[in-house]
Structure 1
Amino acid sequence: MTSHWHFNPAYADREPCAVFRSIAQVFSLNGELVTTDPESEVLRVRAGQTLYYVKRYTIGRRKLARRWFGLRDVFGPQRAVKEWQNLLRFRAWGIPTASLVAYGQERRFGRFVRAALVTEALPDTVDLAELAIVRDPRLSDRTWVRHVSTQVAAYARIMHRDGFVHNDLKWRNLLVDNGPRPIVYLIDCPNGAHWLRPFLDYRIVKDLACLDKVAKHVLTRTQRLRFYLDYLGHDRLTDVDKRQLRKVLKFFTGRE
């Protein structure tokens, strides 16, 4: 068995040092179950006065065909690995995200066995999807919306200009804090990846369409257009911009 485990030295003198020091310790933890699927589960765990999210991956009960008849466990990139790589990538780009406390995986004879990553909870935050569901009054505050929209547009522009797409750029994966000028955090990105054209163009449209899927129900047309112009870095739409925008607006037609 080969184990690769990385512990953030910034937490060496804090409670997580004793709780998340090894992958074996992480898999022995009990906590509040947040979500689960055949391959992974997310627990909310308290260490000292701070909450942490523990995401644990196993081989699970995937169908053989979906596992590439076993080859995926040898050659295929694991979602856990991509998730912590992408969180580190966001940090490098200056995009606010959850702090990685620890991450790593175990392999046996080259095959994936299990993996985990631990992130510190972002205090006093809520995802944008929840705000939309409850019709939070902040979404009626044009100044607040403008401040949030500008940040999200900047994050999307940074990713896409590097040839990277989130692949699940939905309101539920965007957290905001409670400040009058809130900070927007981008989280949960196990499917994000770099793409080459022409596949990149399609994926970019999908990212933008995922954002607009909720925005069209809670924001004005002017606010949505302003977001798109901020994303492009343009004062007005060009013919190329208009063609892309039409694709974004039509992306989920017949799929909802």
Structure 2
Amino acid sequence: MAWVDSEIRDYLQPDHLFEQVTRLEGEVFREVETRKTLRFSLGDQNYFVKIHRGVGWKEILKNLLQFRWPVLGARNEWLALRKLRQAGIDTLEPLAYTSEGLNPAGLKSCLVTRALEDTLSLEEVCQQHRLRPGLKHRLITRTAEITARLHQLGVNHRDLYICHFLIRLDELDAENPRLFLIDLHRAQIRNHTPQRWQVKDVGALYFSAMVDAGLTRNDIYRFLRAYTGLPLREALQADRHFWRQVQQRGEALYLESWPQLPDLMKRQTEALDE
């Protein structure tokens, strides 16, 4: 299958699309053995392309033995972007996609998206000390709403860290800033998101915000209310077990990088056990 949006069809054609994108020149953002992310220009517009080459049977078997579903190419991200955009979630706009081959270990695929210009990740906003209280509250609420909607759609991200939410520079002072969710190449799509994958997403978000955003207990409860759509007491009564699991997931991720938990995480564990 090959598809190219009319916006870039003067430059790229569906026939032999993979071969065409491998000849593009630009700035390499990331490159590993089987995947490359390239920023390039067509006319006066900038774009990104993710080029996937076959991962090989060794990688597939390794993932399956670890009870993980392997990422075979760009299809996951293409489907996830379309689903999120149809649901009104701000994300990248796909403009071209192809997948070639029948052997799952040797698939060649690519995904072209329009570049999001003049943005910062939430991680960068925090590191640059631009997270004023009012903006912080709005971003926590919006992040929770996006995450909840994602899970309601049957999608889980698998890398849901604050670095994967982007905000436009000209919206840092906006009353309702948009957040763009990116890097969905490992996303999974089902009719219903299993709770264990919800826990992994929210736990990863909790961990990364704890590291970079200077969370307070009120911030945690603000997220909890926005994610569930319930008052705090009702949310905890409805599924305290879920939030204990999220807490444990966040703690486990934190302890992979640091020798001990911050005081807030310890106090939060105690509060959930009350």
**Contact 1:40–1:58 under 8 Å retained in 2:** yes
Match of 1:144 among 132, 135, 139: 135
Unaligned runs of 5+ in 1: none
- Tell me the alpha carbon deviations over residues 37-81 of structure 1, each in whole angstroms, 9 at most, x when there is no partner: 121000010122221111101115x4x432349x9xxxx773311
Structure 1 CA distance, aligned partners of 2:146 and 2:104?
36
TM-score, normalised with respect to structure 2: 0.78
What SS class does the counterpart of residue 186 from structure 2 fall into? coil
- Tell me the alpha carbon deviations over residues 134-190 of structure 1, each in whole angstroms, 9 at most, x when there is no partner: 3x22x1x12212222222111111122233211111111111112122210011112
The match for 1:202 is: 196
Question: Are 1:173 and 2:164 an aligned pair?
Answer: yes
The match for 1:239 is: 237
Aligned residues: 238
What SS class does the counterpart of residue 101 from structure 2 fall into? strand
Residue identity over aligned pairs, in percent, reads 25
Question: Are 1:255 and 2:272 an aligned pair?
Answer: no
Question: Are 1:224 and 2:220 an aligned pair?
Answer: yes
The match for 2:60 is: 67
Q: Name the aligned partner's letter for residue 33 of structure 1.
A: V
Structure 1 CA distance, aligned partners of 2:86 and 2:191?
21
In the TM superposition, residue 212 of structure 1 has moved relative to its aligned partner by 0.9
- Name the structure with the higher strand share: 1
Match of 1:17 among 9, 20, 24: 9
TM-score, normalised with respect to structure 1: 0.83
Match of 1:44 among 28, 39, 43: 39
**How do residues 73-92 of structure 1 correspond to structure 2 at under 5 angstroms?**
78-92=72-86
Q: Name the aligned partner's letter for residue 221 of structure 1.
A: R
**Contact 1:215–1:224 under 8 Å retained in 2:** no
Question: Are 1:5 and 2:2 an aligned pair?
Answer: yes
The RMSD of aligned alpha carbons is 2.5
**Contact 1:19–1:25 under 8 Å retained in 2:** no
Structure 2 CA distance, aligned partners of 1:158 and 1:170?
16
